[in-house]
């Protein structure tokens, strides 16, 4: 698809998402608040919480889910790309696990439909955990605490499916309701300052909500990175390592097309983008103006939008 057709589709989507009543949330807004809870079985989620920090899921006993998804750092990793087995760098930046349950697909290229499927692939990825599922099941079964816990929480005890489900259950507790912006959407006008409200107005006015809308302020669609200008060209040879959905489909229209990331807690999850190339939120906003919106952003524009984005921060509320 040509750049002009991508641009036309992008701008049409922006207008539709801002104006369409079907997508309108509280007060007619294109963003909706995070639900207060995604109810989970407490015993299953508690097992998942323990598994999340257990390096025995990796082949060498050094890497856990928490290694790349640090809950103290917004559920992400402070590195441009995470370090997998033996300290070797992964291919892409680790997205936050917070609110991942609200995404329509998992991974940057959307290759997993569910959290359970995502977990299954990470455990066996040779660059991440490098394990084999029969070995993981055996190690979990050999732990008396896990064995009794799974027997109580699942009728068939320790199985691959139950390990995946327990981890996914824990991750579904990691949603972050009650950000200041959500309180604003629910009618608490004073939850945002005048500058933050102005930042949100510009976020809508310039078309950012074409891709960043809905409950997760993103995470619900695919989009080319480089709608208005050639972002891959900016990165040169490095871009060949992260061609987006093209690696799955082989379709040229999917080259450099990625899942749009959620902006929930974005002020806490630097560095940014699939390549981890933007060290600060301000740099990320500047890149978005150029490559996705095709226009310069004034210093005031960028400062106000950054202030709005900080209002999306909140803590996980439902951990067991």
- 171 touches 48 (CB < 8 A): yes
Other beta carbons less than 10 A from residue 37's beta carbon: 12
Token pair, residue 73, equals: 């750092």
- 277 touches 271 (CB < 8 A): yes
> Is 253 known to be catalytic?
no
DSSP 209: G
Token pair, residue 7, equals: 């641009």
Give the torsion through C-alpha atoms of 262, 263, 268, 269, to 10 deg: 40
Token pair, residue 112, equals: 């997993």
H or E element in which residue 284 lies? helix 281-288
Strand ranges inside 197-236, DSSP E: 222-224
Residue 149's nearest CA partner among 131, 170, 120 is: 170
Token pair, residue 74, equals: 């917004």
Q: Which residue has the tokens 């991750």?
A: 171
Measured CA angle at 231 (ends 225, 232), to 5 deg: 95
- 163 touches 36 (CB < 8 A): no
What is the rounded CA–CA span in Å between residue 162 and residue 290? 45
Of the residues 29, 116, 128, 171, only one is catalytic, namely: 128
Positions annotated as catalytic residues are 128
């Amino acid at each position: 698809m040509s750049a002009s057709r991508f641009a036309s589709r992008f701008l049409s989507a922006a207008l539709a998402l801002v104006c369409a009543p079907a997508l309108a949330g509280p007060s007619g807004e294109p963003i909706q608040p995070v639900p207060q809870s995604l109810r989970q079985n407490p015993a299953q989620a508690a097992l998942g919480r323990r598994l999340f920090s257990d390096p025995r899921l990796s082949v060498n006993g050094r890497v856990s889910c928490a290694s790349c998804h640090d809950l103290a750092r917004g559920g992400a990793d402070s590195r441009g790309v995470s370090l997998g087995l033996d300290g070797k760098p992964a291919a892409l930046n680790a997205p936050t696990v917070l609110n991942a349950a609200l995404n329509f697909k998992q991974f940057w290229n959307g290759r997993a439909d569910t959290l359970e499927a995502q977990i299954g692939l990470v455990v066996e990825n040779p660059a991440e955990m490098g394990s084999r599922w029969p070995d993981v099941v055996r190690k979990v079964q050999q732990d008396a605490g896990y064995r009794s816990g799974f027997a109580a929480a699942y009728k068939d005890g320790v199985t691959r499916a139950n390990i995946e489900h327990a981890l996914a259950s824990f991750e579904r507790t990691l949603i972050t309701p009650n950000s200041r912006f959500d309180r604003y959407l629910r009618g608490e006008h004073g939850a945002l300052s005048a500058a933050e409200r102005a930042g949100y107005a510009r976020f809508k006015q310039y078309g950012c909500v074409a891709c960043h809308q809905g409950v997760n302020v993103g995470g619900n669609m695919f989009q080319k990175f480089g709608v208005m200008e050639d972002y891959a060209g900016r990165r040169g040879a490095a871009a060949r390592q992260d061609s987006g959905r093209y690696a799955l489909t082989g379709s040229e229209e999917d080259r450099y097309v990625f899942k749009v990331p959620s902006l929930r807690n974005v002020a806490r999850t630097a560095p940014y983008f699939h390549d981890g190339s933007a060290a600060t939120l301000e740099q990320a906003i500047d890149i978005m103006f150029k490559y996705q919106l095709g226009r310069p952003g004034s210093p005031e524009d960028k400062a106000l939008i950054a202030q709005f984005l900080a209002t999306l921060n909140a803590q996980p509320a439902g951990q067991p």
